[in-house]
Amino acid sequence: MLIKIATDLNESDVTPCEIYQQRRRFLQSGIAIAGAAIGGSLLSPDVSAALQLGKITPGPFSTDEEKTPLDDVTSYNNFYEFGVDKSDPARYAHKLVTDPWSVSISGEVGRPGTYTLEDILKPHALEERIYRLRCVEGWSMVIPWVGFPLADLLKRFEPTSKAKFVEFETLVDKKQMPGQRRRVLDWPYREGLRIDEAMNPLTLIAVGLYGDVLPNQNGAPIRLVVPWKYGFKSIKSIVRIRLRGTQPTSSWTQSAPREYGFYSNVNPGVSHPRWSQKRERRIGEWRKRKTLMFNGYQEQVASLYAGMDLKKYY
């Protein structure tokens, strides 16, 4: 997204250490060992300790490409709730309070309700998956995410046969998220997936990166990662998940439907109206590289779109 709005950038703070440590302490009581049920009390250590003890296992589908340095991952972000410049999230996201946090589950499910973050995380064994992330603007990263498959979460809430799509919403709070004071988008930020995309084993609910908890600017405390789609599909700071029978309208599709389609799969053969998608620049590299179909995950996801015109359904 290249919408430019003037901002007063007179600070240089990143997320303060004490806020980051607070997140670590919170997840000590929020991430559970595999097999615990909703309402159970068996909790694992925090993400870093779990990684050191082998409780975060290497996940499938990870790339062996060189990882993007942590400093770049946490300082160069699109998170318009905090501002439109890449540095704004790292400057202002420390205002976001992530403890307590809850997620509403509704729509075509057998077990709707509002669940605390502890409830959301408790039954799930954590994995580290090193995924590519490709932005529609032409830059990319390789990030070691910590999380678990979205499919595992959705199955717990018993989707009905009418559930064809999954809709997500980000928190709305103008006091904590100063970017929402401007009508860059129609807040709240909304995204959606087809149910088979949501259930694909690549689709990840992320609660950490680089073996530690998510920094606020990267979507704390809970976000989506869909590695074969452009980065704006990976919605951050989720507070609402709704399963529905009809296709939801995503925020960027609503804002600019000619530029951002519902599917938003990485497809170098479909140019953005204002630039080509055939090449990309990996953060930390000078030379551009060829953009891969489905961001390099064609083997895992191409069958989802068999028979579809991917230039029409972009």
Q: Between β-strands 57-58 and 102-107, what pairing exists: parallel, antiparallel or unpaired?
A: unpaired
C-alpha to C-alpha distance for 236 and 259, rounded to whole angstroms? 21
Decide: 219 and 207 in contact? Cβ < 8 Å.
Answer: no
Return the closest-CA partner of residue 128 out of 150, 149, 146, 152.
146
Report the distance separating Cα 266 and Cα 200, nearest Å.
Answer: 16
State residue 3's pLDDT score: 35
In the prediction, which pLDDT does 123 show? 85
Q: Which CATH superfamily is domain 17-254 in?
A: Oxidoreductase, molybdopterin-binding domain (3.90.420.10)
Mean pLDDT (10-residue bins), the chain, 314 residues: 36 40 40 29 42 72 96 97 97 94 97 94 91 97 97 97 98 97 96 98 96 94 98 98 98 95 97 96 95 98 97 94
Torsion sign (Cα): 243, 89, 226, 102 = negative
Q: 165: which strand partners?
A: 194, 244
Two structure tokens written together for 78: 């699109």
The pLDDT value recorded for residue 288 is: 96
Q: Model-level pTM?
A: 0.84
Q: How far is CA 248 from the centre of its chain?
A: 17
| Number of helices followed by number of strands (H, E) in the chain | 9, 13
The per-residue pLDDT for 2 is 37
Give the Cα-Cα-Cα angle 62, 224, 164 (nearest 5 degrees).
110
pLDDT score at 49:
55
> Looking at residue 70, what is its pLDDT?
97
78, HSE (Cβ side, Cα atoms, 13 Å): 22
Joined together, the tokens standing for residue 20 give 């980051």
Integer CA distances (angstroms), 221 to 142, 167, 238, 284, in order: 20, 18, 8, 26
Among all chains, which residue has been given the structure tokens 């997936």? 193
> What pLDDT shows up at residue 57?
85
Domain layout of the chain by residue ranges: 17-254
DSSP code of residue 119 = H
